[in-house]
C-alpha cells in the first residue's frame, strides 16, 4: 500500500497545463507592461507583437487540448461541474485550510470528503477555463474586429480582456500557486518529467471519493492506478 | 434614444494658427492645425480609429498610444466620433465665444447649419424634431446671439454650383465657346463638389490632380459669412462690420479649419476696396469662430438654457428665408441633388419632374451612381445623359473614385464627395453616440437605425 501510486495527470494534461502556464504568464506580463504604459512606445510595440505571437501558442494549446484530447477535456469538465452535497459542505470550513494554515478556527473540524477536485479547486478551475476561453475570444476579436465591434462592445471586451486577465493572474499567483506548493505531491506530479502520479495514500487523504468511485486498479505494486474513464 | 457621450475639448493655443512662416508642412500661415488631438493618457491603442481615418493620418501600433499627423489630418473628426474610449479631443471656441457674448461692443451672430437642429435636440435628451427652428432661434437669442440661417446661403451655393456645372457642360460636352465660358476651359469635367472642407483638404494634399475639377463655389457657411458682414451689416442690422462676430454652428469639425483659411476674408477685402472700413483695418475672417453642435449645446448648458423648453413661436426674420433645395444640403447626395435640380431647370427649361432623386440621396451604399437624361432647351430637346456619383464616407472611397476616373475620364459629369459616411448628419461635430459605429449602420435592420 505504501508504494502504490495513482495516475493523476496524464501527459496530455501536463502538457496543456504547463504550456498554458508559461504562455499565460508571458501574456500577462507583456499585456500589463503595455497597458500600464511602463515602457516607451517602441518597446511597447515590440511587446505587443510578442503578446500576439505568444497568444497564437496559447490559443493552439487550448484548442489542441480541448479537441485532440476531447475525452480528457470532457472528463475534466465533468469532474468540475458535478457539485454534490459534500462539495457544498466544503465551504463550511473551506476544506479546513484556514484552520491548518492560518490557525483560524473557521467552521467544523471535519472536512467533507471531496472528489478528484475539492470545491475550491472546482470553483477556481472553472473560472480559469472560462477566462482562458474568454481571453482567447476577446483577444482575437480585439485584434481582428475592433472597428466593426461597435463602441460599447469594444469597451466591454477590452475591459474584460484587461481586467479579467489581471484578476485571473492575481488568483493564479496568489492562491493557485501557494496551494499547489502545499499539496506538494500534486506539485511534483505536475512538474516531474515522466508520469504524473501521486501516492495512493495522498490521494485517499485529499480525494477519498475519487479513489473510491473513479479509480480502478490496473496492476499490483508500484504500478500507477488508472482512472477508468 | 441613444445616449450621448461627453467629448473633451481644448481651447486653441497661439501655435494653433502657426508661426510666421508662409508654410508649415501642409498648412499655410493662419490656418488652424491640430484641431483633432489624441490624448496620450487616455488612448489604449485599440487601433479602432485608424480604420475610420480617410487619410491614414493616425500613427501608432496596437496597444500603444496613437497620435495624429498634423500634416495628413483633414480635421474631419471621424476618429473622434468612433473612438470607443473617448480619447480623442476637439479644439473648441466655446470659451472665446462666451467672452464675445459678454462683450457689449460685439454683435455676435449665430449661423447654424441645417444638420445641427436635430443633433442639438439629442444633446438635451430630445428626439429629432423636438427642437423646432423657432426654438433653436429663441435659444440662440436668449444666449445673446443674433440669428442668421445658413439655408439662406445654401441656396446661393447651390445656384453657384449649378451655374458653374452648366457652363462646364456647355464648354466640355456641347463644345460651345465664348467669353463667359473661358474660365471653365481650365476646369474640365467631371465636376466635383467643394462644400466639404475635409474633402477639399484631402484633394489638395493627396490628389492634387483633381484640383482643377473641384467647384469654385464656396460652401454655404463661407457664402453666408461675407453676406452677413457686407449686405446684412449695412441693410439689415445697420452695424459696423468690424463689430460683427460671425459664429457658424455646424455638424462639422473640418469647418473649424475651413473658417481659418486665408482666402476666406472676402468681406474684409470687399469692404476695404469700397472704402467702407479704414484702409489700415487688420484683416478679419468672414467667419470668426466655428462651434460644433456639441459646442453650441455646451454654451446653452453654461447659460442654463434648455432649448427644448423654449416657446415655439417667433416672427420670421429677413435672414431666415430659404427654399426647399437648401434643406437637403446636409444629407449625402443633397448638394448634388439640389444643384442638379437647378442645372436641370436651366438646361432644359422645365422642372425636374421627380424632384426627389432618391437614387442619389443615398446612405446604404458608399458610392451611388445615377444617370439623369436632360433634354437641352438650347438644342431643341436633344437629350444628354448626365452621369453623377455620390461618394459617401471618403475614408474608403476616394481612392476607388480616383481609380475609376483614371480608367475612364468620361465616367462621370458630376461627383459629390462627402467625407463623412452618410454626409454631414454624421459629421465629426455631431453629438457622439455612446453606442455603435457608423460602419455597422448600413447592416442594421431599419428599426434599429438611429
Ligand atoms: C489567445 C489569447 C490572447 C490574445 C489573442 C490576446 C490579444 C490581445 C490583444 C489584441 C490586445 C490588444 C488590445 C488592444 O489594445 O486593443 C491585448 C491586450 C492585453 N492582453 Fe491579451 N491576448 C490574449 C491573452 C491574454 C492573456 C492570457 C493575458 C493575461 C493573462 C492577456 C493580457 C492582456 C493585457 C493586460 C492587455 C492590455 C494591453 C493593452 O493596453 O493593449 N492577454 N491582448
Ligand atoms: S480609437 Fe481611441 S483608444 Fe483606440 S487607438 Fe484610437 S484614439 Fe486610441
Ligand atoms: S480628424 Fe479625420 S483626418 Fe484627422 S486623424 Fe481624425 S479621422 Fe483622420
Ligand atoms: S461630410 Fe460634412 S460634416 Fe463631414 S467633413 Fe464634410 S462637410 Fe464636414
Q: List domains and CATH numbers for chain A.
A: 7-214 (1.20.950.20)
B contact test, residue of A39, A151, A154 with most B CBs within 10 A: A151
Q: Which residue has the higher pLDDT, B189 or B367?
A: B189
| Residues of B acting as catalytic residues | 161, 164, 195, 215, 255, 258, 263, 424
Structure confidence by residue, pLDDT tens digits, B231-271: 888 888 888 999 999 999 999 999 999 999 999 999 999 99
Return residues 33-52 of A near B (CB < 8 Å): 34-35, 37, 41, 44-45, 47-48, 51-52
Q: What is the pLDDT of residue B64?
A: 93
Q: What is the pLDDT of residue A194?
A: 73
**CB contacts, 8 Å: B436 with chain A:** 150-152
Structure confidence by residue, pLDDT tens digits, B81-103: 999 999 999 999 999 999 999 99
Name which residue sits closest to atom 4 of ligand 2, judged by CA.
B46
| Class at the top of the CATH hierarchy for domain B94-152+220-320 | alpha beta
Considering only B34-38, B190-194, B424-428, B439-443, which range has the smallest mean pLDDT? Answer: B439-443
Annotation: CATH topology of B158-217+331-430? Fe-only Hydrogenase (Larger Subunit); Chain L, domain 3 (3.40.950)
Q: Do B436 and A158 touch (CB under 8 A)?
A: no
**Residue ranges per structural domain of chain B:** 4-90, 94-152+220-320, 158-217+331-430
Structure confidence by residue, pLDDT tens digits, B180-226: 888 888 888 888 888 899 999 999 999 888 899 998 888 878 888 88
Q: Do B84 and A151 touch (CB under 8 A)?
A: yes
Q: Which H or E element spans position A20?
A: helix A11-35
Q: Identify the nearest ligand to the CA of B52 by its number.
A: 3
Q: What is the pLDDT of residue B338?
A: 66
Q: What is the pLDDT of residue B355?
A: 53
Q: What is the pLDDT of residue B142?
A: 92
Structure confidence by residue, pLDDT tens digits, A25-39: 999 999 999 999 999
| Residue A51 C-alpha, separation from nearest chain B C-alpha, in angstroms | 10
A contact test, residue of B42, B61, B64 with most A CBs within 10 A: B64
Q: What is the pLDDT of residue B445?
A: 40
Averaged pLDDT for residues A31-57: 95
Calpha distance A177→B93 (Å, rounded):
56
**CB contacts, 8 Å: A143 with chain B:** 62
What is the overall mean pLDDT for chain B?
Answer: 83
Domain B158-217+331-430 in the same topology as domain B94-152+220-320:
no
Q: What is the pLDDT of residue A228?
A: 44
- Chain centre to alpha carbon of residue B346: 26
Q: Is the predicted ipTM greater than 0.90, yes or no?
A: no
Ligand 2: distance of its center to the CA of A169 in Å? Answer: 26
- With bands split at pLDDT 50, 70 and 90, how would you rate the model's confidence at B331? low
Structure confidence by residue, pLDDT tens digits, A17-26: 999 999 999 9
- With bands split at pLDDT 50, 70 and 90, how would you rate the model's confidence at A55? very high
Calpha distance B57→B80 (Å, rounded):
13
Coil, helix or strand at residue A195 = coil
Cα dihedral value B230, B236, B237, B243, nearest 10: 0
Closest Cβ–Cβ partner in A45, A147, A150 for B51: A147
Q: Do B63 and A146 touch (CB under 8 A)?
A: no
Q: What is the pLDDT of residue A72?
A: 85
Rg (CA), chain A: 20
Architecture of the domain defined by B4-90? 2-Layer Sandwich (3.30)
Is the confidence at residue B15, as pLDDT, over 60?
yes
Ligand 4: distance of its center to the CA of B209 in Å? Answer: 22
Ligand 1: distance of its center to the CA of A44 in Å? Answer: 13
Structure confidence by residue, pLDDT tens digits, B266-310: 999 999 899 899 999 999 999 999 999 999 999 999 999 999 998
Q: Which H or E element spans position A65?
A: helix A41-68
Is the confidence at residue B129, as pLDDT, over 60?
yes
Amino acid at each position: 500500500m505504501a508504494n502504490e501510486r495513482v495516475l493523476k495527470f496524464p501527459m496530455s494534461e501536463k502538457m496543456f497545463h504547463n504550456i498554458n502556464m508559461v504562455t499565460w504568464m508571458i501574456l500577462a506580463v507583456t499585456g500589463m507592461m503595455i497597458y500600464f504604459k511602463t515602457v516607451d512606445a517602441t518597446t511597447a510595440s515590440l511587446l505587443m507583437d510578442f503578446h500576439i505571437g505568444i497568444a497564437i501558442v496559447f490559443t493552439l494549446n487550448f484548442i489542441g487540448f480541448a479537441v485532440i484530447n476531447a475525452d480528457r477535456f470532457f472528463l475534466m469538465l465533468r469532474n468540475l461541474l458535478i457539485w454534490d452535497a459534500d462539495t457544498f459542505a466544503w465551504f463550511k470550513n473551506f476544506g479546513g485550510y484556514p484552520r491548518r494554515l492560518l490557525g483560524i478556527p473557521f467552521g467544523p473540524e471535519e472536512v467533507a470528503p471531496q472528489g478528484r477536485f475539492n470545491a475550491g479547486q472546482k470553483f477556481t478551475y472553472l473560472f480559469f477555463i472560462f477566462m482562458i476561453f474568454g481571453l482567447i475570444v476577446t483577444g482575437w476579436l480585439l485584434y481582428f474586429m475592433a472597428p466593426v465591434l461597435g463602441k460599447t462592445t469594444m469597451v466591454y471586451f477590452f475591459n474584460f480582456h484587461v481586467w479579467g486577465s489581471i484578476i485571473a493572474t492575481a488568483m493564479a499567483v496568489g492562491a493557485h500557486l501557494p496551494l499547489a506548493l502545499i499539496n506538494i505531491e500534486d506539485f511534483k506530479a505536475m512538474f516531474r518529467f515522466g508520469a504524473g502520479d501521486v501516492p495512493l495514500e495522498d490521494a485517499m487523504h485529499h480525494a477519498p471519493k475519487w479513489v473510491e468511485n473513479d479509480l480502478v486498479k490496473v496492476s499490483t505494486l508500484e504500478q500507477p492506478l488508472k482512472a477508468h474513464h | 434614444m441613444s445616449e450621448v457621450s461627453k467629448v473633451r475639448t481644448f481651447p486653441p493655443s497661439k501655435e494653433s494658427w502657426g508661426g510666421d512662416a508662409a508654410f508649415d508642412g501642409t498648412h499655410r500661415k493662419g490656418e488652424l492645425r491640430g484641431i483633432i488631438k489624441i490624448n496620450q493618457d487616455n488612448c489604449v491603442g485599440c487601433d479602432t480609429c485608424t480604420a475610420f481615418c480617410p487619410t491614414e493620418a493616425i500613427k501608432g501600433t496596437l496597444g500603444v498610444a496613437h497620435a495624429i499627423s498634423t500634416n495628413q489630418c483633414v480635421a474631419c473628426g471621424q476618429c473622434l466620433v468612433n473612438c470607443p474610449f473617448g480619447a480623442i479631443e476637439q479644439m473648441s471656441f466655446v470659451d472665446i465665444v462666451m467672452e464675445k457674448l459678454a462683450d457689449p461692443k460685439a454683435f455676435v451672430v449665430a449661423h447654424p447649419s441645417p444638420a445641427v437642429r436635430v443633433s442639438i435636440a439629442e444633446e438635451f435628451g430630445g428626439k429629432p424634431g423636438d427642437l423646432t427652428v423657432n426654438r433653436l432661434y429663441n435659444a440662440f437669442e436668449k444666449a445673446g446671439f443674433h440669428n442668421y440661417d445658413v439655408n439662406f446661403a445654401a441656396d446661393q451655393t447651390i445656384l453657384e454650383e449649378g451655374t458653374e456645372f452648366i457652363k462646364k457642360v456647355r464648354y466640355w460636352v456641347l463644345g460651345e465657346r465664348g467669353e463667359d465660358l473661358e474660365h471653365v476651359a481650365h476646369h474640365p469635367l467631371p465636376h466635383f463638389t467643394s462644400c466639404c472642407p475635409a474633402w477639399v483638404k484631402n484633394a489638395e494634399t493627396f490628389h492634387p490632380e483633381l484640383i482643377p475639377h473641384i467647384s469654385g463655389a464656396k460652401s454655404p457657411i463661407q457664402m453666408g459669412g461675407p453676406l452677413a458682414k457686407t449686405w446684412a451689416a449695412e441693410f439689415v442690422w445697420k452695424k459696423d462690420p468690424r463689430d460683427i462676430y460671425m459664429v457658424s454652428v455646424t455638424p462639422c469639425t473640418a469647418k473649424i479649419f475651413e473658417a481659418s483659411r486665408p482666402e476666406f476674408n472676402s468681406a474684409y477685402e470687399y469692404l476695404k476696396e469700397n472704402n467702407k472700413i479704414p484702409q489700415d483695418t487688420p484683416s478679419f475672417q468672414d467667419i470668426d469662430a466655428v462651434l460644433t453642435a456639441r459646442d453650441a449645446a455646451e454654451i446653452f448648458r453654461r447659460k442654463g438654457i434648455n432649448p427644448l423648453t423654449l416657446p415655439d413661436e417667433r416672427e420670421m426674420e429677413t435672414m431666415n428665408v430659404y427654399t426647399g433645395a437648401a434643406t437637403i444640403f446636409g444629407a449625402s447626395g443633397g448638394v448634388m441633388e439640389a444643384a442638379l435640380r437647378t442645372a436641370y431647370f436651366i438646361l432644359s427649361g422645365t422642372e425636374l419632374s421627380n424632384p426627389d432623386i432618391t437614387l442619389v440621396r443615398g446612405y446604404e451604399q458608399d458610392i451611388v451612381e445615377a444617370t439623369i437624361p436632360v433634354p437641352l432647351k438650347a438644342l431643341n430637346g436633344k437629350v444628354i445623359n448626365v452621369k453623377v456619383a455620390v461618394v459617401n464616407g471618403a475614408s474608403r472611397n476616394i481612392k476607388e473614385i480616383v481609380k475609376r476616373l483614371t480608367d475612364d475620364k468620361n465616367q462621370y459629369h458630376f461627383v459629390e464627395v462627402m467625407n463623412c459616411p452618410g454626409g454631414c448628419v454624421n459629421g465629426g461635430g455631431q453629438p457622439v453616440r455612446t453606442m455603435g459605429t457608423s460602419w455597422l449602420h448600413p447592416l442594421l435592420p431599419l428599426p434599429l437605425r438611429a
